[in-house]
Amino acid sequence: MARPRRIVLVRHGESTGNVDDSVYERVPDHALALTEQGRAQAEETGERLRAVFDGERVSVYVSPYRRTHQTLQAFGLDPALIRVREEPRLREQDWGNWQERDDVRSQKTFRDTYGHFYYRFAQGESGADVYDRVGNFLESLFRSFEAPDHPPNVLLVTHGLAMRLFCMRWFHWTVAEFESLVNPGNGETRMLVLGENGKYTLDRPFERWREPEPYGITG
């Protein structure tokens, strides 16, 4: 099995929805574009990624949303070195269809109180639903490692919640641990690095907004 030396997760650059939540009333979530700031963030991230990959081949999986595709395009990766696949299972948590701004704000407040893993948006998904499809994607990813010529790098261009849930699934974090973490900022990365012991570790932790609740499985 040709396991990659590194798996890089990237959150898309700033989108119009990140700066103006009224846009959800007239533009579908999947169609939101990057702002000028978001494009600049993606270009800066691309510079860092090119230095990390250093001319090596990269297997790329990108969420089908416009802002993630635009983020990937802004990276400026060498087309001869990348294999790109659109991966719907890495999409943003579904909210339903068009949403009124006040409804979006109230549901986000409810989610913060109820818990990001369990709260289900009306007509949409819970964090647990996203966890399930991310886990399904991981099974496909593991199968791809069986190819003897698999690239030494994997790049996932996705969303903040999906990044946390990917790591939760990979490292077997508890729900309480997941709930204690903060989404990475726009354009931020997290990297799973393969060690000499054959195990992956995160290059840096997610920020915490609190300590995990002291319940659930211990030991």
Average confidence score pLDDT of the chain: 94
- Say whether 92 is catalytic: yes
Torsional class of 74: left (φ above 0), alpha (ψ -120 to 50), beta (otherwise) = alpha
Q: Residue 137 and residue 133: Cα distance in Å, rounded?
A: 6
pLDDT of residue 219: 46
Q: Residue 27 and residue 33: Cα distance in Å, rounded?
A: 10
Q: What is the DSSP string of 170-215?
A: HHT--HHHHHTB-PPPTT-EEEEEE-TTS-EEESSPPPBSSPPPS-
pLDDT of residue 176: 95
Phi first, then psi: give them for residue 77, nearest 5 degrees: -75, 150
- Chunked into runs of 10 residues, the chain (219 residues) has average pLDDT values of 92 96 92 98 98 98 98 98 98 88 85 93 93 98 95 98 98 96 98 96 95 67
- Whether 212 maps to a domain, the answer reads no
- pLDDT tens, position by position, 72-87: 999 999 999 999 999 9
Q: Spell out the alpha helix ranges (H) of 54-159.
A: 66-75, 101-114, 127-144
- Whether 148 maps to a domain, the answer reads yes
Instruction: Residue 23: give its domain's CATH number.
Output: 3.40.50.1240
Q: Residue 26 and residue 100: Cα distance in Å, rounded?
A: 9
Q: Residue 135 and residue 112: Cα distance in Å, rounded?
A: 23
Contacts of 206 (CB under 8 A, 6+ apart): 164, 167, 181, 182, 183, 184, 190
- Whether 216 maps to a domain, the answer reads no
- Whether 214 maps to a domain, the answer reads no
- Whether 211 maps to a domain, the answer reads no
- Among residues 139, 52, 14, 13, which one has the least CA distance to residue 87? 139
Place of tokens 């659930």: 216
Residue in 12, 69, 116, 159 annotated catalytic = 12
Residue in 14, 69, 87, 92 annotated catalytic = 92
pLDDT of residue 95: 87
- Whether 213 maps to a domain, the answer reads no
- Say whether 69 is catalytic: no
pLDDT of residue 97: 84
| Domain boundaries, position 132 | 6-202
- Whether 219 maps to a domain, the answer reads no
pLDDT of residue 76: 98
Number of structural domains in the chain: 1
- Whether 114 maps to a domain, the answer reads yes
Contact at 8 Å (CB) between 203 and 193? yes
pLDDT of residue 163: 98
